[in-house]
Chains A and B, each alone.
Chain A
Amino acid sequence: MRAALHSLRIWLAEPRDGFALAAFIAGASILGIAFLVMLCGIPNRYRKFVVMSVTFVAGLFLSLEFLLPRDVVSAQGLVFSIGAIGLIISLGFAAKSAAARPRDIRGLGIWLAMTVASTAVAYFASSLRAIAVPLTTLSKSLTTARPAVGDLAMIISSFAVLLGILNLFQIHGRAVSRRTQGWYNSAAFFVAFFAILIVGLVMDWRQSQLAHLEPGSPAFTTVSRANTINSNLFQILFRGFLTSLESTMFSLIAFYIVSAAYRAFRIKSAEAVLMMVAAVIIMLGLVPIGASITSFLPESGIFSNLRLERISYWLLIGPNMAVQRAIGFGIAVGALAMGLRIWLSLERGSFFDRQL
């Protein structure tokens, strides 16, 4: 049986060409459509289960690849850790039940028994051999699969590129068809969209043509002349419009900071004073003129620490570093919590909650 399966796999993976290729692609597409129709046919009550299990399995990939032991020693370490966690948790529950319900001996007894069991697990961990082999082979194969998963994730997510576009087409298409006020803006949207898309694709097409033509031949010169015209048009659209528009958009903020500095930033509270003082010191400390304000102080020795750039640098590597790390710890634990909730589909937010 295994040999048949193996030869089938070889036969399927065999690259096809010409008519056979078209047939295989058609066959595969029909298979795909059948799969989609089958998906549509799944009754309502199983749908949430399908989504949850797909999410769970997808989450297993990177977590197991990282968490599973790589060799016998680390396998024993894993069992020891499971014992240690069991010990800590059961001690915690034992303490909690003793405090909450002092007379409940039976409850306390259960947790104490759990404590003993966990210590046993931890203690005997180093003698276990058998479980190591399957776990380590699984984790190694997951690591070797990582490039394939990375590759596929990039390709399949690229298919989603049109998601946002369809939406924009809907909005601007409606504006153009109904001639609503300012419809010419939406028309400009379509012109811009197709202009850069077509010029780009033609540029690729020309370049692939040039790659096949033999340099110096007449066909080559005509195609390369067309290619230079096309890439010049592309440069006009790309550097002339797209990059200029985006960088000008970004630079708008400088103006908004200027007017915000003047109108919006008010020292309403002592906290705002502290923030503003720190901000001003950092701003002056980083730029050349700022540093020259305190350039009269000596270069080294105690007083050199009062130079503006020194204070500014100390603020950055001292208090600021501690604050950013504290915020970072909070966000990291938050990300772990959110990861668990998504992976185990515990998320009760309005999105997952509805009947799928």
Chain B
Amino acid sequence: MGVFEKLQNLDRRILYVLLAVVVSAPLLIRPSRHPGIVLSEVQSAYNAVDRVSSDKIAIISTVWGAGTEAENGPQTEAVMRHMFQKGIKFVVLSWDPVGAEITYRDGSRIAKELGKHYGVDWVHLGYRPGPIYAVVSGMAEDFQRVIDHDRFNKKLKDIPLTRDVRSHRQIGVVVEITPSGTATTWIAYFTQPYGIPLVYCPTAVMAAEAYPYLDSGQMAGMLNGVIGAAQYETLIGLGNSPTYAAAAAWSLSAAHIYIIALIFLGNLGFLTMRSRNRVGGRAGR
């Protein structure tokens, strides 16, 4: 078998192992250098969160579960850290039971690190099953009744942060962190009708679809996957600390070049095979 044929049918398990090797270096060296450029939608996301007035609170709506924690986790932590640093009071509302547990654990870790207190600086409202449009539209009119209690079943009216949050009037920004298309529900029932800025933190796969909403101003900013989180970290002063997002950004670079090489390699063989028009089942399938 010539070199070409060997390159043509590499065992896919070798490819898998090579992926692990390609990705591992930055994760172990833990570079602290963050990506140089900051996209304008990440900057406008930062501005939207930064501009929340002190008499209003922020809603961090997390739809993600353990499956996309690698992408949505750093985004959630970056936004929480920014709000803690700026003293913006926020509530976390989770639409995935597993995500509710993870976001609470991350939130309390960052709160402890920055000396913030549960119930005063932040509240975790726990998991709500939805239907999302019904809960969100109801919440806009009467926050206390629809949400009613936090993750520890403590009534909102007994918690200092949420005691006087009556409706959409007390909400300064909504940060939607999601692996699926739930942002349109927030736009339709909460942020667009009442003129509240929406910061959108999708997994990268959902990012391409969101640019029309950025162009029309229905979204105030966007963090595009873990790269968006890494760029956001440079804006909140983590520019040179070895965070997971920074390491992931460099691992991603390596992984992308590896994928492009594979596509090139695969098609190289395919084209030469076709040009030599050899009869063979492999090329046909």
Contacts and interface: CB of A to CB of B under 8 A. Distances in A.
The answer to whether A and B touch in the complex, with CB atoms under 8 Å apart, is yes
Interface stretch (A33-41, A75-83, A125-133, A309-317): A309-317
A250 B16 contact: no
Nearest to B145: A147
A255 to B, nearest CB: 5
Nearest to A161: B129
Contacts of B115: none
Contacts of A284: 256-257, 260
Interface string A144-188: 101111110110011001000000000000000000000000000
Interface in A256-272: 257-259, 261-263, 265-267
B66 interface: yes
A286 B141 contact: no
A151 B146 CA distance: 5
A243 B250 contact: no
B101 interface: yes
B208 A243 contact: no
B87 interface: no
Interface in A321-344: 321, 324-325, 328
Which secondary structure characterizes the binding site on chain B? Answer: helix
Interface in B186-231: 208-212, 214-215, 224, 227
Interface residues of B, number: 62
A286 B224 contact: yes
Interface centre among B16, B39, B69, B134 (most CB of A within 10 A): B134
B68 interface: yes
Interface residues of A, number: 55
A149 B15 contact: no
Contacts of A55: none
Given A153-B131, A258-B262, A309-B37, A328 B212 contact: yes
Given A266-B267, A325-B212, A151 B145 contact: yes
Interface string A234-254: 000010001110110111001
B138 A265 contact: no
B67 A262 contact: no
29 contacts: A143-B141, A146-B141, A147-B138, A148-B138, A154-B128, A157-B130, A244-B66, A247-B66, A247-B70, A254-B19, A255-B16, A258-B12, A258-B15, A261-B259, A265-B266, A266-B267, A266-B270, A286-B227, A287-B249, A289-B253, A289-B254, A290-B253, A290-B257, A291-B37, A309-B37, A317-B214, A317-B215, A320-B208, A324-B211
Interface of B: 10, 12, 15-16, 19, 35-37, 39, 65-70, 98, 101-102, 128-131, 134-142, 145-146, 148, 152, 208-212, 214-215, 224, 227, 249-250, 252-260, 262-263, 265-267, 270-271
